[in-house]
Amino acid sequence: MSDFKIIEEPELFKNARKPEGELGEELLDRMNDFHENLAKWGISHLNISKDDVILDIGCGGGINIKRFLEMTCNKVYGLDYSQIAVKKSIDLNQKDINNGRCEIIHGSVCELPFDDDSFDIVTCFETVYFWPDFVNNSKEVRRVLKKNGIMFICNEAIPKKDDDRQKELIDLLDMKIYGEDDFKHHLSESGFSEITCFSKKGPDSVTKEDTDWICAIARK
């Protein structure tokens, strides 16, 4: 079998699942930058009010936490199961951690270290691909949301049958890619209602070629 790879720098990109070590640190810096347009497009679908308490799961390099701190006057939390992501997010948001508006916690979506009914909005950018059990993990997100709270997902890929690069990414990262029907089906199984998806063509953050951006919004 040919060992030709479409993915440039596979050792670096493997860190997208759980950033570790020097390459993990490098990728986190790049993701803060590369995902900017996707994240801003996604956030434009959210009505954030000044008193919303927000949690960003899989916070990576922490840039979305910083964005949310500018949109709400209330507290913003970040959570990631990568130690190095937690450290990067703390470094980036140190000022608001010091003034008590921000907390960044090491933990997994499988068992969120928060009380029931804690958050108005829980966001998940480019992370659900790696969750071990999407339906049960989304139930855990639902548990920590307040009544009428919003779970928000934003990804830069939908399933594509004959896309060799996507196949290679899935193998490299052991990831799952979801489309609109998957989100609607799984999120309703997790107990959510009013599930709405938005999509658009946008540049892939690495190749800059057109890909499909998708975001899903679901209410508790």
Ligand X SMILES: C[S@@+](CC[C@H](N)C(=O)[O-])C[C@H]1O[C@@H](n2cnc3c(N)ncnc32)[C@H](O)[C@@H]1O
Please give the residue ranges that form the binding site for ligand X (CB under 6 A): 16, 18-19, 31, 35, 57-60, 80-82, 85, 108-110, 125-127, 130-131
Nearer to ligand X, 34 or 162 (CB): 34
No. of H helices and E strands in the chain? 9, 7
DSSP letter, residue 158: -
In whole angstroms, the minimum distance from the beta carbon of 107 to ligand X comes to: 7
Nearer to ligand X, 18 or 160 (CB): 18
* Minimum distance, C-beta of residue 134 to ligand X, in the bound complex (Å): 10
Name the minimum Å distance from CB 92 to ligand X.
Answer: 12
Helices (H), the chain: 10-13, 21-34, 36-43, 63-69, 83-92, 94-98, 134-144, 164-173, 180-189
**Closest separation in Å from C-beta 129 to ligand X:** 7
If the CB atoms of residues 74 and 108 are measured against ligand X, the closer one turns out to be 108
CA distance 41 to 215: 9
Closer residue to ligand X in complex, CB, 30/101: 30
Query: What is the smallest separation between the CB atom of 85 and ligand X, expressed in angstroms?
Result: 4
**Cβ nearer to ligand X, comparing 96 with 126:** 126
What would the two tokens of residue 13 be?
Answer: 């990109």
Minimum distance from residue 1 beta carbon to ligand X (Å): 28
The 10 Å CB-count burial string (b at 16+, else e) for 89-99 is bbebbeebbee
Q: Which residue is nearest to ligand X (CB)?
A: 60
Q: Which is nearer to ligand X, 93 or 127 (CB)?
A: 127
The torsion angles phi and psi of 190, rounded to 5 degrees, stand at -80, -5
| Exposed e or buried b per residue across 14-42, where buried means at least 16 C-beta atoms within 10 angstroms of its C-beta | bbbbbbeeebbbebbebbbebbeebbebb
